[in-house]
Structure 1
């Protein structure tokens, strides 16, 4: 079974679910990041053709106004949050590249539907769409 570092393009995944995220980007990002906590250390069917992969670590890349998110310490301990200095896509590529580099040489599994971003990812990266990821998460609470 492949072990992966799950790298979540928060803006893209958040934007795929029309739950009012545009009214409070930071709050929506915090809810999404919090919902990722249970995935660390779990086997999930997000690999190629739905194969199970083991999520060693979860990294959430947050950009724009969503960077103002606030998270409790237990969430920050479980999910590494990267606040993109500029555009989120470049930060996702940087994270995926770092995951592949020695000494870790792990496999990044990037959750995004952004075709342009997918094309920019380094060779060896795996990709899954927002729906596959969201289907594994608890249902959002109505706002």
Structure 2
């Protein structure tokens, strides 16, 4: 692998000095890839208008093709942050206008590209704000294949489109997850649940969760990408931990994480939440190591993953 800076006329930050990530990576086989630390792009999905695509200026890499707003990541920058920053710089995507759904990463070892798929929460009109775009347009899903696409986007589009049909949701048995680690939680179950809430929220804000929803399994055979999800998430608490649900009641409007306080049996509340999400056509995964509860949620149409899976996702 070789690192080369951009040549005159090639991409660079439009608003100041070149970032250290603005460089070409030369593969052992000679291909060039933009971004010393990898690259990221945003696939914004509007339920009425389709997906936001960028018509690339002729002098750019694969100029004249259509692709995603995106570009080189900064050193230490997450794929999510990189995709959102680049889409703001190139397409004027407003803060808070989109909610991430999934992140699909093609990792070649020496270079990676992350596609962040995000749902439009607040409709907006894109704005050409740098010289790399001829046009920015909302393109209906059925019309994407008719465009001259960037080769990388063309290769990934079939699996990305299939994944747009998958809407996963997590229901987490807080008491079971907290109780699986002997760290003294019994002295302060509410505090332990609060810490779990914070760690889950941090994952949803940064890197998502890696799992394979049942509805997505047929897609996995046709892609080399690694997929992580930012799912609608429900944390079910019971006993003394129910206090945090009231404290965090307003946060659900700003995040993908909702807390449900079980008024009676925590297991019954989890089954109800799972069943309600299944009825909304979500691909539901319940996190619990309780075998009896796991059997009940499977009967309700959900998957079950053990508490250890979640803890590993959170870094334990």
Cα distance in 2 for partners of 1:138, 1:77 equals: 24
Q: How does 1:24-103 map to 2 (within 5 A)?
A: 24-40=188-204, 43-47=208-212, 52=227, 54-69=229-244, 70-71=247-248, 74=251, 77-78=254-255, 79-101=257-279
Aligned length, in residue pairs: 136
- The alignment status of 1:108 with 2:299, answered yes or no, reads no
Runs of 4+ in 1 over 4 A off after TM superposition: 70-76
Q: Secondary structure at the match of 1:40?
A: helix
Per the normalisation by structure 1, the TM-score is: 0.81
Unaligned runs of 5+ in 1: none
Larger Cα Rg: Structure 1 or Structure 2?
2
Q: Which moved more, 1:104-113 or 1:114-123?
A: 114-123
Taking only aligned residues, the RMSD between alpha carbons, in angstroms, comes to 2.6
Match of 1:131 in 2: 308
1:26, 1:66 within 8 Å by CA — same for their partners in 2?
yes
Cα distance in 1 for partners of 2:310, 2:204 equals: 13
2:233, 2:258 within 8 Å by CA — same for their partners in 1?
yes
Q: 2:293 aligns with which of 99, 117, 130?
A: 117
Match of 1:22 in 2: 186
Q: Which has the higher contact order (CA 8 A, sep 6+)?
A: 1
**1:120 CA displacement:** 1.1
**1:54 CA displacement:** 2.4
**1:3 CA displacement:** 3.2
**1:83 CA displacement:** 0.2
Per the normalisation by structure 2, the TM-score is: 0.39
